[in-house]
């Protein structure tokens, strides 16, 4: 420590009470922002992983031109034919930043139990890929137990089942399939069913099969049978009444098509999405494939993610401005008082040969030391708050999501460093403003000045 | 909603032209020529649809009795054995390999512009409240114009404008409207078939129904009715459990 820093440290200790009060304001403000940053980071990961993995969007989704809006309604014109799928898959697999590639077929229709039918929105996925995504470390870290089936088994984990599907809980209740048993086929499954019989609910509950109906690619009506092997949590409550996930082959049979709605890419690092999108677009254009690529954060493809993040960003910015103002004014106030109280000291230092810059530097060093100490304390408080929240095991259902999640604060190192840097700049600027005019005062005046 | 209300109000309060017949009787008579026979009738139906340059074709054997009907697909081969059962107002879809029938709606599309309900016998007298709102000339033929409003939500269309020939008492033209009163499909009918019903009377029977999309890409679907014949069908023919077996 140089002499100037040692002197600054001693000065901090001399004015302990005022500096403690200022330091506490800085520490608490810092802790608040770090906790807020941690919450925002966790919320972003929650929504991102929900969009990418649970809603099967991938980090990038490649559609036929116009397919984002029209592939479900008119797959014959706006879904991807097999040869285009192959080209897209090959282009994605050639990129080392892409971890997984999957084909998805999305469609609507009805699902019936032999007595009643209900509207459904079905997602057809590749079982092997879904198995890998369900155990993805980021999914487990954020969603925990919610990644597994609510009851029964996942559709990719039901050996021996005929055309296994999983359905959302409310749809399952409507179909009388709330307790699926992925075992063998009961003998009564083939027996005629009287929908007016008093025991019809028990009969329906014991029958694991449902019938899917939909308009096929050629415009006629088609149907296929499926076995409900489990219930799963869809990513949003609005899907709870209609969602069904099935092997893609089953849905292709239902819709009588070999096309898919989109090909999704799951990246090793989500921050590469823009670069991967750019390179993929070039590669596909060179291969003569006319498609549109949508990232998970594309406001058109995923307005929920984009809207929520914009709202969260505005909220964080507002709080940061508020806290930054409080901290800056606290420091400005404390340093202004210090400058007034320490006029004689400043005059004495100037008389001893200290330049104005050196006197100002002394105050700035004091401010820097106070800020660094307070920020370290604030970081410790923030870490303690994160531990307390973790220990409290707070679980809640985010609005619009039917899945309970475990509240976590996950401040990234850049949040700690960035907030610390912001506070240092703020306090140094406030100190500079507070002492700037005072150090310009003539030495004789400083020596005779009496603090109020 | 408001426009539908005013349309209904206008229909109910319209001053009927002199000599206006009873709308329900007109509908009953016109229904007979579109399969609504209490005694039972069978025909072969071919549905050909053209949409955005793509054509599809399906042939069905239809058996109807009063408000029930059974339509079994015979072609194309990969659709063979698919059945639509109309049991009163309940509709079921079945195909080989399904353990259970699928409950479907009369409004769901069968193929092209044709809804499931279009493939069966017509029972407008039962399903709609009709009002004669005027008389016009359609293709040189004097007709009564009727406004039909659905009696329940499970019928094929919410509202229909229906033109019935004054002389032949047959429906010659229809406009199908949404609940909001927007036109979305039109249909014309031809009656080149004759059916001898029990009692020896021979009646005109529909031979062609041409449905045109009035909102979107302008697709056209033609339903051709061939070999209509009066036949007695047991009620058990239309029992869903019997069909599943």
**Do the Cβ atoms of A211 and B116 come within 8 Å?**
no
* Residue that the structure tokens 């072969």 belong to: B44
Chain B contacts of A75, Cβ < 8 Å? none
pLDDT value at residue A291: 96
- Pairing, β A117-125 against β B208-213: unpaired
Is B77's Cβ below 8 Å from some Cβ in A? no
A104-124 pLDDT, tens digit each: 999 999 999 999 999 999 999
Candidates A192, A207, A221; nearest CB to B108 = A221
B153-210 pLDDT, tens digit each: 888 889 999 999 999 999 999 999 988 889 989 999 999 999 998 888 899 999 999 9
- Pairing, β A262-267 against β A60-64: antiparallel
The number of helix segments (H) and strand segments (E) in chain A equals 16, 12
A374-423 pLDDT, tens digit each: 999 999 999 999 889 889 988 888 777 777 888 888 788 999 999 999 99
Q: Residue A70 phi/psi, 5° resolution? A: -115, -10
Instruction: State the smallest CA–CA distance between residue B104 and chain A in angstroms.
Output: 7
Section A223-243 average pLDDT: 90
- Pairing, β B128-138 against β B114-115: unpaired
Instruction: State the smallest CA–CA distance between residue A88 and chain B in angstroms.
Output: 27
Residue of B nearest to A119 (CA): B104
Residue of B nearest to A212 (CA): B102
| Residue of higher predicted confidence among A382 and B15 | A382
Is B244's Cβ below 8 Å from some Cβ in A? yes
Whether B42 shows a pLDDT value over 90: the answer reads: yes
Chain B contacts of A77, Cβ < 8 Å? 52
ipTM of the complex: 0.78
Q: Which domains does chain B have, with CATH numbers?
A: 2-56+106-233 (2.50.20.10)
Instruction: State the smallest CA–CA distance between residue B156 and chain A in angstroms.
Output: 16
Instruction: State the smallest CA–CA distance between residue B138 and chain A in angstroms.
Output: 32
The number of helix segments (H) and strand segments (E) in chain B equals 5, 17
* Residue that the structure tokens 């239809």 belong to: B62
Candidates B56, B100, B116; nearest CB to A219 = B56
Is B215's Cβ below 8 Å from some Cβ in A? no
A-interface mutation test, from B71, B99, B213, most A Cβ less than 10 A away:
B99
Q: Residue A72 phi/psi, 5° resolution? A: -70, -40
Whether A452 shows a pLDDT value over 60: the answer reads: no
Q: Do residues B151 and B160 lie in contact, with contact meaning Cβ atoms separated by under 8 Å? A: no
Angle of the A356-392 helix axis to the A343-351 helix axis, nearest 10: 130
Residues in A lying within 8 Å of B, measured between beta carbons: 76-77, 110, 112-117, 189-190, 192-194, 207, 209, 211-213, 215, 218-225
Section B228-243 average pLDDT: 88
Buried b (16+ CB within 10 A) or exposed e, A254-284: bbbbebbbbbbbbbeebebbeebbeebbebb
Is B100's Cβ below 8 Å from some Cβ in A? yes
Residue of A405, A318, A327, A383 whose CA lies nearest to A35: A383
pLDDT value at residue A450: 64
pLDDT value at residue A166: 96
pLDDT value at residue A434: 87
Is B236's Cβ below 8 Å from some Cβ in A? no
A-B CB pairs within 8 A amount to 72
**CB-based contacts of A364: which residues, under 8 Å, 6+ apart?**
A428, A431, A432
Candidates A114, A218, A219; nearest CB to B100 = A114
Section A194-216 average pLDDT: 90
Residue of A nearest to B245 (CA): A192
Residue of B nearest to A117 (CA): B103
Name the residue ranges covered by the structural domains of chain A: 3-48+306-448, 60-295
In eight-state DSSP terms, residue A275 is H
Instruction: State the smallest CA–CA distance between residue B109 and chain A in angstroms.
Output: 7
Instruction: State the smallest CA–CA distance between residue B169 and chain A in angstroms.
Output: 33
Q: Do residues B45 and B57 lie in contact, with contact meaning Cβ atoms separated by under 8 Å? A: no
Chain A contacts of B109, Cβ < 8 Å? 215, 219, 221
**pTM strictly above 0.95:** no
């Amino acid at each position: 420590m140089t002499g100037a820093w040692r002197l600054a440290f001693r000065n901090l200790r001399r004015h302990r009470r005022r500096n403690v009060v200022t330091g506490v304001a800085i520490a608490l403000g810092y802790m608040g922002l770090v906790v807020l940053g941690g919450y925002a980071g966790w919320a972003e990961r929650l929504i991102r992983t929900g969009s990418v993995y649970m809603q099967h969007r991938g980090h990038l989704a490649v559609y036929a031109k116009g397919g984002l809006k029209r592939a479900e309604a008119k797959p014959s014109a706006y879904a991807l034919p097999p040869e285009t799928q192959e080209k897209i898959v090959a282009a994605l697999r050639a990129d080392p930043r892409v971890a997984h590639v999957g084909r998805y077929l999305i469609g609507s229709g009805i699902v019936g139990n032999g007595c009643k039918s209900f509207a459904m929105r079905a997602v057809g996925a590749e079982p092997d890929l879904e198995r890998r995504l369900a155990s993805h470390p980021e999914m487990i870290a954020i969603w925990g137990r919610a990644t597994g089936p609510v009851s029964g088994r996942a559709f990719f984990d039901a050996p021996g089942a005929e055309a296994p599907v999983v359905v959302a809980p409310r749809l399952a209740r409507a179909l009388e399939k709330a307790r699926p048993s992925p075992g063998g086929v009961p003998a009564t499954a083939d027996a005629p069913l009287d929908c007016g019989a008093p025991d019809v609910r028990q009969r329906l509950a014991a029958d694991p099969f449902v019938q899917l109906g939909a308009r096929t690619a050629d415009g006629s009506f088609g149907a296929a049978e499926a076995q409900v092997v489990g219930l799963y949590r869809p990513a949003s409550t609005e899907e709870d009444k209609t969602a069904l996930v099935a092997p893609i082959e089953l849905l292709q049979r239902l819709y009588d098509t070999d096309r898919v709605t989109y090909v999704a890419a799951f990246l090793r690092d989500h921050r590469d999405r823009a670069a991967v999108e750019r390179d993929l677009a070039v590669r596909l254009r060179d291969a003569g494939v006319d498609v549109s690529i949508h990232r998970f954060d594309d406001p058109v493809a995923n307005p929920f993610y984009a809207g929520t993040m914009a709202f969260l960003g505005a909220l964080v910015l507002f709080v940061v401005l508020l806290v930054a103002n409080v901290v800056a004014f606290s420091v400005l106030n404390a340093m202004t008082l210090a400058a007034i109280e320490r006029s004689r000291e400043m005059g004495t230092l100037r008389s001893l040969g200290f330049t104005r810059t050196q006197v100002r530097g002394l105050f700035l060093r004091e401010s820097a030391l106070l800020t660094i100490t307070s920020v370290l304390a604030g970081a410790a408080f923030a870490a303690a708050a994160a531990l307390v929240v973790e220990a409290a095991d707070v679980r809640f259902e985010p609005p619009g999501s039917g899945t309970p999640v475990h509240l976590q604060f996950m401040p990234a190192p850049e949040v700690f460093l960035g907030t610390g840097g912001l506070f240092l700049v703020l306090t140094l600027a406030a100190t500079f403003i507070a002492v700037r005019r005072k150090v310009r005062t003539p030495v004789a005046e400083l020596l005779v000045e009496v603090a109020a | 909603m408001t426009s539908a209300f005013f349309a209904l109000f206008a229909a109910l309060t319209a001053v009927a032209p002199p000599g206006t017949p009873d709308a329900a009787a007109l509908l009953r008579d016109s229904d007979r020529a579109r399969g609504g026979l209490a005694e039972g009738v069978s025909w072969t139906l071919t549905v050909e649809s053209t949409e955005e340059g793509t054509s599809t074709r399906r042939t069905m054997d239809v058996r109807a009795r009063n408000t029930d009907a059974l339509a079994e697909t015979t072609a194309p081969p990969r659709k063979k054995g698919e059945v639509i059962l109309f049991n009163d107002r309940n509709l079921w879809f079945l195909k080989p390999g399904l353990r259970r029938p699928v409950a479907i709606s009369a409004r769901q599309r069968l193929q092209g512009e044709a809804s499931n309900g279009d493939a069966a016998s017509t029972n407008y007298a039962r399903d709609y409240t009709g009002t004669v709102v005027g008389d016009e000339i359609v293709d040189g033929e004097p007709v009564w114009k009727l406004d039909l409003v659905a009696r329940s939500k499970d019928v094929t269309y919410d509202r229909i404008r229906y033109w019935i020939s004054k002389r032949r008492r047959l429906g010659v033209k229809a406009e199908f409207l949404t609940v909001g009163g927007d036109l979305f499909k039109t249909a014309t009918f031809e009656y080149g078939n004759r059916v001898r019903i029990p009692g020896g009377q021979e009646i005109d029977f529909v031979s062609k129904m041409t449905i045109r999309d009035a909102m979107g890409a302008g697709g056209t679907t033609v339903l051709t009715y061939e070999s209509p014949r009066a036949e007695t069908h047991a009620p058990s023919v239309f029992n869903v459990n019997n069909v599943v077996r």
